[in-house]
Amino acid sequence: MEGFGVHTSMWTMSWDREGCERAVAKAVSYGMDFLEIALLRPDAVDAAHSRKTLEAAGMRSVCSLGLPEAVWASRNPDGAAEFLKLALDKAAVIGSEALSGVVYGGIGERTGVPPTEAELDNVARALTEAAAHAKSLGLLLGIEPVNRYETHLINTGWQGVAMVEKIGAENVFLHLDTYHMNIEEKGIAQGILDAREHLRYIHLSESDRGTPGAGTVQWDEIFATLKAVGFKGGLAMESFIDMPPEIAYGLSVWRPVASGAEEVMGEGLPFLRNKARQYGLI
């Protein structure tokens, strides 16, 4: 994973044939290096079609997801492992380089108390099994800390690193997200300092998940620290403007945070690319 990509949420939340074709065409038109595909329902994806469409366009990809409640790893590690293996199989057929995201649980999973050792052990067990499967497929497996409201399990870079090291598989990496870091880290760059070589992927997402450059994230601090630790991974712009009801609850998007994809792509993308170039990251 390397280069500058974008999450498909910009153009579709349904990775069906039509959504895939539209998103790939758009990504090509903006010169993206890769697409992050939201694999919300892996079983429903026509992976062969995705692969053909991506290959025809010369577009690389990464898949990401959160787990359905029935298979949250903290309490159903076997179910989680099975689900992740299916998703990894799909990602492999699609030709993606990694499966990442909230692979350890649900977006919105909160017990009301701090994570227990038993929960973290379950997560590690599920992810260890998934990592082995990913390795057999030549895939990487990423872990994305998200903010306190979206999970009680892994909120910060150092918590994510602890899980990566607990699993101890070389194809498991940390995946940070500036939107969450803005809430959770002691200084926007702290998670990068804690992650260092474990960090191979980062979501460039504004503080309100709207247009990058128009919020409160201190981008120079992000990019300078990425450069300083020798980051070589993927930079993925992510915004959530309009969400289908089934995922709106977890993400809690109640209003449009940008006027539309044109604003994000027309203002946010040049802003982020200029900054990434300024710091020699692309």
| Candidate segments 83-91, 97-105, 166-174, 185-193, binder of a second copy by CB under 8 A | 185-193
**Residue partners of 130: CB distance under 8 A and separation at least 6:** 80, 81, 84, 85, 88, 99, 103, 141
Cβ 122 to a second copy, closest distance in Å? 17
Does 17 engage in binding with a second copy (CB under 8 A)?
no
Give how many residues touch a second copy by CB under 8 A. Answer: 54
**Distance between CA atoms of 74 and 123, rounded to whole angstroms?**
5
Q: Is the dihedral of CA 134, 64, 249, 25 positive or negative?
A: negative
| One-letter amino acid of 71 | V
Pick between residue 105 and residue 215 the one whose CB is nearest to a second copy.
Answer: 215
- What is the rounded distance in angstroms from the CA atom of residue 123 to the CA atom of residue 81? 9
| Site membership for a second copy, residue 210 (CB under 8 A) | yes
Judged by CB under 8 A, does residue 255 bind a second copy?
A: yes
Stretch that binds a second copy, among 10-18, 71-79, 124-132, 219-227 (CB under 8 A): 219-227
Please, which residue, 56 or 248, has the CB nearer to a second copy?
A: 248
Q: Rule CB under 8 A: choose which of 132, 137, 193, 261 binds a second copy.
A: 193
**Which three-class secondary structure state does DSSP give residue 174?**
strand
- 186 belongs to the binding site for a second copy (CB under 8 A): yes
Under the criterion CB under 8 A, does residue 245 sit at the interface with a second copy? yes
Q: For residue 220, state whether it binds a second copy (rule: CB under 8 A).
A: yes
Q: Which two tokens stand for residue 37?
A: 């595909």
Is residue 243 within the footprint of a second copy (CB under 8 A)?
no
253 near a second copy, rule: CB under 8 A: yes
Q: Are 158 and 145 in contact (CB under 8 A)?
A: no
Residues 6 or more apart whose CB falls under 8 angstroms from that of 177 comprise 144, 145, 146, 202, 203, 205, 238
| 248 contacts a second copy (rule: CB under 8 A) | yes
Q: Is position 157 an interface residue for a second copy (rule: CB under 8 A)?
A: no
109-128 binders of a second copy (CB under 8 A): 110, 112-115
- By CB under 8 A, residue 214 contacts a second copy: yes
260 part of the interface to a second copy, by CB under 8 A: no
Quick one: which H or E segment has residue 201? strand 199-204
Q: Which of residues 26-65 bind a second copy (CB under 8 A)?
A: none
Residue 184 binds a second copy, judged by CB under 8 A: yes
Residue 269: C-alpha distances to residues 28, 200, 203, 216 (Å): 14, 20, 13, 16
Cite the active site residues: 144, 238
Question: How far apart (Å, rounded) are the C-alpha atoms in residues 52 and 190?
Answer: 40
CA distance readout (Å), 87 to 90, 102, 134, 149, 186:
5, 13, 10, 25, 34
Residue 227 touches a second copy, criterion: CB under 8 A? yes
Instruction: Summarize as ranges the residues that interact with a second copy (CB under 8 A).
Output: 110, 112-115, 147-150, 152, 155-156, 181-190, 192-193, 207-208, 210, 213-218, 220-221, 223-225, 227-229, 245, 248-249, 252-255, 267, 270-271, 274, 278-279
